[in-house]
Each structure stands twice: as C-alpha cells, then as structure tokens.
C-alpha cells in the first residue's frame, strides 16, 4: 500500500505544469486533482502511541500529552506499566509545581492542567491498543533482537497510515524499518534525556521516508516545543557521533597518562565551554552504556577509525564500576554528586 501511495504522490509532484486548457479541461483537472488527493495519505498526527515507559518513553508520552495529543502508552509488563504511570505522574507534578512557584500558574490552574493532561493518556499492556495511532514512538530496550520482532508485530497491528518513530540511540534505523513493512513511513525520533527538559530532537530521515511523513513528524516535534535537526541514518546521528568519540579520546588520553581525570574535564569545561567534562559525562551516562554503544559500532562499522573501545572502559565495566549508577567509575560518586577522581 505504501508503494502505491508513494508513486501517486511522486507522480503528482513530478507532473509538468499545464500551459493551456481546452474548454473541458478545468473540470477534468479538478477531478484528476481530487483523485490524486484521495490517493495520497493524509498524515495528520492527532493520536500518539508510545511504547516503553522507561527513562525516555515516559517523558515522550508526557510531553506529547502536554502539547494536547491523545496518548496511548504501552508497556510489556504490568509492573513496568505501573512504574511508567508513576514516573509520568511525578514528572508532571514537578513541572506544574515549578510553574506555580515561578508564578506562571495558580495552584488551581495547575490542578486543572494536571487533570487535563492525565485525561489525554490511556495506558495498556496490549500493542493492539495502538491500532488507531497516527504516530507510534518506540522507546523499548536498545536491543536489535527485541526491536526487530517488535516492529514485525507492530506493522501488522496498526492502521496503514501510521508513522513509526524509533528513539534508538545507537542502532541502525534501517535494520528494523524494513521488518516493520513500512520503511516509507519510518523515521528515527531521537530524544534526549531528560525529555521534559532537553529541547533537541534528531529526526533521522531514511532514503525511503516519504516527504509527507517527514513533514508530519516535523510538525509533531514543533508542537511539543522541541527543536528538530535532521540527518541520515548514520551511526550515532549527529550528537552521539561527535560526542562518543570525544569521550573515547578523553579515556585514551587518561590511559596514556597525558593528563589527569580532573584536568581533562576542567579543560573541556573552561576551554571548550562544555557544561560537563567528557569523563564526568561518561560516568553520568553509565560506563556500561558507553561500552555497549562502542562495542556495537566497532562490530558493525569495523573500518570507522573514530570507533574504538578503550581498554580502561572495558576494565571498569568488568569490575562493576559503571559510573554514577554504581557509585564509582572515573569518579567516586555519592548519589548524583561526584566526590573525587577514583584513581
Ligand atoms: N537513556 C537515555 O539517555 C536514552 C537517550 C536517548 C535514546 N535512548 C533510547 O531510548 C530507548 C529506551 O531507552 P530507556 O533508557 O528509556 O530504556 P529503559 O530501560 O528505561 O526503558 C525501556 C522500557 O521498555 C519496556 N519494554 C521493553 N520491551 C518492550 C516491548 N516489547 N513492548 C513494550 N515495552 C517494552 C521495558 O519494560 C522498559 O520499561 C532505547 O532505544 C535507547 O537507546 C535512551
């Protein structure tokens, strides 16, 4: 069906302008135009499905509901659904109480807004609840062996005009766009953590993505108040492609003994204006996550010289030192506060 839509759409765009019209032509043109419009799918995003209500998905569901979208929030297991609900509730309460504190909203207004936003979200453990969704944003675990069967199933459950957006950070979108059966209606929709605060969304446009799909997704991103940037299906997209190799170089510099952990971080903060130094950031992201991303890239793109797994990173993860989440990595951590360099 997608191929049919696409060819109709492209043929409309490619039609040469008519320079003269015979007496009966205005009517024929009108009929032809009406037919073409009817054949071109209308990607009007009103209902947004979010699958996976973890760290990222709960934020995506929340910002979508706050922007006025009807949201269908889907999880795989009941406990995860419960904790997704709680996360949404907690984040929304926090946002609204800050607005009250700052005088942007009255307490009564905040309560009304909370009810309104909550009413827009329905929760389900059943993927079939997404059957009427116009856009499905996937934020499930970063594992190709989970994402491929997920998309195969999703493609057969939702309406033919639904658009799919994956929030993957490090996988190749094309690897699961094809199994979904609708690569022409597929984009990467890469949000940043925490979704409620971070203003950027990378829209990854595949060669197959239809222009009308891309425009509809751009409209969605604008309506949720984020800034969109666009790139191709390239590893790490824009931000992580530039950021992760910088973390690697900082680790290698430390390994070679060229500078201390603190000096590397202070240098990049004060010299390059980064809010956080690269080793601090690696600890913050989680060293296991950094290792997972790098190992995946090295395996998939063995000829890319920027993708290297530093031996110090592997050793730290093997020793259970995962950064902030485990209490030690390049730094020793107390909760969310880094205390001192670990070595
Ligand atoms: N954590 C980040 O900073 C970050 C940033 C950008 C993008 N991402 C990407 O977002 C995605 C999710 O990451 P996260 O950090 O939110 O993970 P998470 O582990 O916090 O959440 C994933 C959720 O997906 C659910 N899930 C797993 N399989 C499912 C299925 N088949 N159906 C429905 N739900 C399912 C899990 O129960 C879990 O609640 C990943 O692809 C990740 O690469 C993460």
At 268-294, the pLDDT tens digits run: 999 999 999 999 999 999 999 999 999
Residue 75 in contact with residue 125, Cβ under 8 Å?
yes
Distance CA 24, CA 15 (A): 19
- pLDDT tens profile 136-195: 999 999 999 999 999 999 999 999 999 999 999 999 999 999 999 999 999 999 999 999
Query: Do 100 and 245 lie in a common domain?
Result: no
CATH number at residue 283: 1.10.1040.10
Q: Are residues 210 and 277 in the same domain?
A: no
How many independent structural domains does the chain possess?
3
Looking at the fold, whether 54 and 100 belong to one and the same domain comes out as yes
Query: For a pLDDT cut of 90, what percent of the chain falls above it?
Result: 87
Residue 236 lies in a domain: no
Q: pLDDT (tens digit, 9 = 90+) per residue, 138-154? A: 999 999 999 999 999 99
In the residue annotation, 70 being an active-site residue is answered as no
How many angstroms separate the CA atoms of 218 and 229, rounded?
9
Higher pLDDT: 343 or 169? It is: 169
Residue 186 lies in a domain: yes
Residue 41's pLDDT band (cuts 50, 70, 90): confident
pLDDT in tens, 76-87: 999 999 999 999
Strand order of the β-sheet with 47-51 is 121-124, 70-74, 47-51, 135-138, 163-166, 186-191, 200-205, 227-231
Establish whether residue 169 lines the binding site of ligand 1, counting it when its CB lies within 6 angstroms of any ligand atom. Answer: yes
Which residue segment(s) compose the domain that 170 sits in? 47-231
| Position 171 in a domain | yes
Same domain for 186 and 68?
yes
Q: Has residue 112 been placed in a domain?
A: yes
Which of 16-20, 41-45, 54-58 comes out lowest in average pLDDT? 16-20
Residue 190 is among the residues annotated as catalytic for this protein: yes
Q: What percent of the chain stands above pLDDT 70?
A: 88
**CA separation for the pair 274, 255 (Å, rounded):** 22
- For residue 58, the CA-to-ligand 1 centroid distance in Å is 10
Question: What distance in angstroms lies between residue 143's CA and the mean position of ligand 1's atoms?
Answer: 9
| Structure confidence at residue 39 (pLDDT) | 57
Q: How many CB atoms lie within 10 A of CB 16?
A: 5
The active-site residue out of 75, 202, 210, 328 is 202
The closest-lying atom of ligand 1 relative to the alpha carbon of residue 53 is 39
Residue 254 has pLDDT above 80, yes or no: yes
Whether 240 is catalytic: yes
Residue 249 lies in a domain: yes
pLDDT (0 to 100) of residue 40: 60
CA angle 47, 80, 288 (to 5 degrees): 105
One domain, residues 172 and 211 = yes
Q: Is the CB of 75 under 6 A from ligand 1?
A: yes
Residue 180 and residue 201 in one domain: yes
Q: Which of 58, 190, 208, 210 is catalytic?
A: 190
The reply to whether 77 and 187 lie within a common domain is: yes
- For a mutational test of ligand 1's pocket, the pick from 51, 63, 140, i.e. the residue with the most ligand atoms closer than 8 A to its C-beta, is 140
Instruction: Return the pLDDT at 20.
Output: 33
Whether residue 52 is found in the same domain as residue 34 = no
Are 108 and 30 in the same domain? no
- The count of other CB atoms within 10 Å of the CB of residue 66 is 20
Whether 51 lines ligand 1, by a CB cut-off of 6 Å, is: yes
Nearest 5°: phi and psi at 151? -70, -35
| Tokens of residue 151, six digits | 């998309």
For residue 140 and ligand 1, the question of a CB distance below 6 A is answered with yes
pLDDT at 295 over 50: yes
Give the domain CATH number at 52: 3.40.50.720
Q: Are residues 169 and 81 in the same domain?
A: yes
Determine whether the shortest distance from the Cβ of 166 to ligand 1 is under 6 A. Answer: no
The reply to whether 177 and 96 lie within a common domain is: yes
The answer to whether residue 137 sits within a structural domain is: yes
296 lines ligand 1 (CB under 6 A): no
Residue 53 has pLDDT above 90, yes or no: yes
Binding residues for CoA: 91, 102, 169
Query: Are 53 and 109 part of one and the same domain?
Result: yes
The pLDDT score that the predictor gives to residue 111 is 97
Q: Which of 231, 264, 299 is the last residue of a domain?
A: 231
Q: Which atom of ligand 1 is nearest to the CA of 84?
A: 39
Q: What value does the mean pLDDT of the chain take?
A: 90
Residue among 56, 84, 123 whose CB has most ligand 1 atoms within 8 A, to mutate = 56
């Amino acid at each position: 069906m997608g191929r049919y839509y696409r060819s109709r759409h492209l043929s409309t765009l490619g039609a040469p302008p008519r320079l003269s019209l015979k007496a009966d032509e205005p009517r024929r043109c009108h009929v032809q135009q009406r037919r073409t419009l009817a054949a071109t799918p209308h990607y009007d995003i009103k209902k947004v499905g979010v699958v996976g209500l973890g760290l990222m998905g709960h934020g995506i569901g929340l910002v979508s509901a706050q922007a006025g979208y009807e949201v269908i929030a889907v999880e795989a297991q009941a406990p995860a659904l419960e904790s997704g609900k709680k996360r949404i509730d907690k984040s929304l309460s926090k946002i609204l109480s800050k607005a009250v504190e700052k005088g942007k909203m009255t307490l009564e207004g905040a309560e009304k807004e909370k009810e309104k936003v909550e009413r827009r979200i329905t929760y389900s453990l059943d993927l079939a609840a997404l059957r009427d969704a116009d856009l499905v944003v996937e934020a499930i675990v970063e594992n190709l062996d989970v994402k491929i069967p997920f998309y195969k199933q999703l493609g057969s459950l939702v309406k033919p005009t639904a658009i799919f957006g994956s929030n993957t950070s490090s996988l190749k979108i094309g690897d699961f766009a094809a199994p979904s059966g609708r690569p022409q209606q597929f984009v990467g929709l890469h949000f940043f953590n925490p979704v409620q605060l971070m203003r950027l969304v990378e829209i990854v446009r595949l060669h197959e993505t239809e222009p009308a799909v891309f425009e509809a997704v751009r409209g969605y991103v604008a309506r949720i108040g984020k800034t969109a940037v666009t790139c191709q299906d390239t590893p790490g997209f824009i931000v992580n492609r530039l950021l992760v190799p910088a973390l690697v170089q900082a680790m290698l510099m430390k390994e070679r003994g060229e500078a201390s952990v603190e000096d590397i971080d202070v240098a990049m903060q004060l010299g390059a204006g980064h809010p956080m130094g690269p080793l601090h950031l690696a600890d913050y992201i989680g060293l296991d996550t950094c290792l997972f991303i790098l190992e995946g890239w090295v395996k998939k793109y063995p000829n890319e010289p920027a993708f290297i797994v530093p031996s110090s990173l592997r050793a730290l993860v093997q020793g259970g030192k995962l950064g902030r989440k485990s209490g030690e990595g390049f730094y020793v951590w107390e909760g969310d506060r880094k205390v001192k360099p670990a070595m």
